[in-house]
Amino acid sequence: MKRTYLGEFEEIVLLTVAVLGSGAYGVAITDELDKQTGRSVSISAVHAALHRLQEKGMLVSQMGEATAERGGRRKRLFTVTVLGSRTLHDIRAVREQLWNSIAPQTLPAISL
């Protein structure tokens, strides 16, 4: 199977959709990204990443019910696909392997 690579932003958007579960839509994703990473992103950047992830088959979307908070408009809700989940697990495995390969004295000590 051909490996699909993700950029850092696509990866955190995909992870955020997974975190939010059934409540993953544009504004909620943007708010959660800011909360989890401290990184302020535009809704248009999130929508562009969501679109790319859908094209890659890592997300699917459906229209939710109309809500009063949105003036009766419906939300487009996103869900991680099996391919998206597999990709996230592969990325995590590679990162863990790399972290585990670093000798303790290689990285300078930092204080948090």
Q: What is the CATH number of domain 8-100?
A: 1.10.10.10
pLDDT at site 106: 76
| Angle, CA of 96, 97 and 100, to the nearest 5° | 80
DSSP 33-63: HHHHH-----HHHHHHHHHHHHHTTSEEEEE
Task: Give the pTM.
Answer: 0.83
pLDDT at site 2: 58
Mean pLDDT for all residues in the chain: 88
Domain boundaries, the chain: 8-100
Task: Assess contact for 84 and 14: CB atoms under 8 A.
Answer: yes
Q: Which of 5 and 91 is assigned the larger pLDDT?
A: 91
**Ramachandran region of residue 61, left (φ > 0), alpha (ψ -120 to 50) or beta?**
beta
Report pLDDT digits (tens) over 64-80: 877 766 667 788 999 99
